[in-house]
Structure 1
Amino acid sequence: MSTSTIPEILTHVDAGVMTITLNRLERKNSITSAMYGAMADALESANHDAAVRVVVIQGHESVFSAGNDIGDFLGKPPSTPDAPVFRFLRGISSFPKPIVAAVCGPAVGIGTTMLLHCDLVYAGDNAAFSMPFVNLGLCPEAASSFLVPQLMGYPRAAEALLLGEPFMAESALEMGLINRIVPPTEANALAQRQALKLAAKPLGPLMETKRLMKKGNAAIVAERMSEEAASFGRMLQEPAAREAFTAFMEKRKPDFSKV
């Protein structure tokens, strides 16, 4: 069964697997408010649909996601807890069934942090992960300020979150962010094969095992995500973010010397 809530987000259900595809290649799969809403709706549907046992999130072999669409983001900043981006983050972080991701090319900002809430992640050898929140005058989101130090250790997390510089698939594998590296043309297919393996297993034990593994962090993740969202919203109105976004739109290097 194929559905398309909006052209930029495609969903397809087959053999117990819902595949959510980022489909905005001409803009490097940068994510708009409408796309967040469509992904949040897809996860909610998958959660309540007994025919869906596993979710796959994928992009294109050349790019996973360039992160937020800056123009759309500035025009529709997330100002309430019900903003589409926050609905999506709550949905993916609390999703009870297995989530498999396939990542190739750039995975910027939320393109990386959403992976912290996936259960299996397969990357092309061209994958490049980055979390440049500080460089945009902002703070981390998706509970990454908690989950990234927990995953990578503080020194590597500080390098990733304070400097915001990209790290490649080999480093992501060593840190434990991803499960396996394959050629880009094989990543989506591998994610599908692994999802089908999961879909063939009993759903109750899968969900209970996932719940037990995540139980120790669940409350912390929810609390940290809420705190990050409040800080993120406040920082959006401050001079550093205004300078960062203005510089981005003007295609120049930001000058933070006065902020």
Structure 2
Amino acid sequence: MTDAILQQRERGLLTLQFNRPDKKNALTRAMYTQLAETLEQADADPAISAVLIQGSHACFTAGNDIGDFLEQPPSDLDSPPFHFMKSLLNCRKPVIAAVAGAAVGIGTTLLLHCDLVYVSRDARLRMPFVNLGLCPEFGSSLILPRLLGHAKAAELLLLGEEFTGEQAALWGIATEALGSGEAALAKAREIAERFDTLASGAVQVTKQLMKSVDREQLRRVIEEEGALFVQRLKSSEAIAALSEVISRK
């Protein structure tokens, strides 16, 4: 599991790559912890100018590893998934995401907290929380209605409807949609490398200003969602839905 998150540092760019191709890059507790700790280290390192998060050209991430999730579900807001959320939310360095293939659950909601997001046009994004007996997380219940309007957000969060990378760019969830997964990864890297040539202090202050509006409200919503998510995991609906997913594998 130690190589489930590949790290590459090239000049001022730190790349974090999901690396579980046999599991569609599904995220485990150990991966969340590694992501959180690495983001915190990058945030404190003056030599790091930007962080790039990516999967492969074929798959970003299928979201939580359900088996790992059920074995030891998060019990409070200090659990590994929420530790990762806090670390990404608090990161002062620009975070860029490159998305191709599937981006499920937190694979989509984490994009709402990245500064620049490049997707392949045929990427498949989905937030099937209700379908699994759960509720939205990572501030998505606040951010998506504001970004898309209630009706479209309801389609994505209440029904768990899938949408493409092209739609994500059209709706403002992504910065740009590219023709292929390889193109999305290449464009994200090209843009991420540009931060090495920019004044880091000015970049960080600008990001702080852009993120400052309603920041405390967002924190409160993330905590409220998290507490309800932990409760929902214990519900008969969630247990039945998650167990069915496991049985199909």
TM-score (norm 2): 0.97
Provide the residue aligned with 1:56 in structure 2: 52
Q: Does the 8 A contact of 2:39 with 2:87 survive in 1? A: yes
What is the CA–CA distance in structure 2 between the aligned matches of 1:220 and 1:71, rounded to whole Å? 33
Say yes or no: does 1:85 pair with 2:56: no
Say yes or no: does 1:15 pair with 2:6: no
Structure with more contact order per residue of length (Cα contacts < 8 Å, sep ≥ 6): 2
Moved over 3 A (4+): none
What is the CA–CA distance in structure 2 between the aligned matches of 1:144 and 1:51, rounded to whole Å? 32
Provide the residue aligned with 2:196 in structure 1: 199
Provide the residue aligned with 2:109 in structure 1: 113
After TM superposition, the structure 1 = structure 2 runs for residues 20-59 of structure 1, keeping only pairs within 5 Å, are: 20-59=16-55
What percent of counterpart residues are identical?
Answer: 43
Deviation at 1:174, TM superposition (A): 1.1
Say yes or no: does 1:232 pair with 2:229: yes
Q: Does the 8 A contact of 1:11 with 1:42 survive in 2? A: no
Provide the residue aligned with 2:139 in structure 1: 143
The superposition leaves residues 212-259 of structure 1 with CA deviations (integer Å, 9 ceiling, x where unpaired) of: 11101211111011001110011111111011012112229xxxxxxx
Residue type at the aligned position of 1:219 = E
Aligned residues: 248
What is the CA–CA distance in structure 2 between the aligned matches of 1:221 and 1:144, rounded to whole Å? 9
Provide the residue aligned with 2:130 in structure 1: 134
Structure 2: tracts of 5 or more residues without a match: none
What is the CA–CA distance in structure 2 between the aligned matches of 1:222 and 1:102, rounded to whole Å? 25
What is the CA–CA distance in structure 1 between the aligned matches of 2:63 and 2:234, rounded to whole Å? 20
What is the CA–CA distance in structure 2 between the aligned matches of 1:247 and 1:26, rounded to whole Å? 20
Residue type at the aligned position of 1:148 = L
What is the CA–CA distance in structure 1 between the aligned matches of 2:214 and 2:101, rounded to whole Å? 29
Paired residue secondary structure (1:6): coil
Q: Bigger shift: 73-82 or 223-232?
A: 73-82
Deviation at 1:126, TM superposition (A): 2.3
TM-score (norm 1): 0.93
Structure 1: tracts of 5 or more residues without a match: 253-259
Q: 1:242 aligned to 233, 239, 244, which one?
A: 239
Q: 2:159 aligned to 154, 158, 163, which one?
A: 163
Paired residue secondary structure (2:214): helix
Provide the residue aligned with 1:213 in structure 2: 210
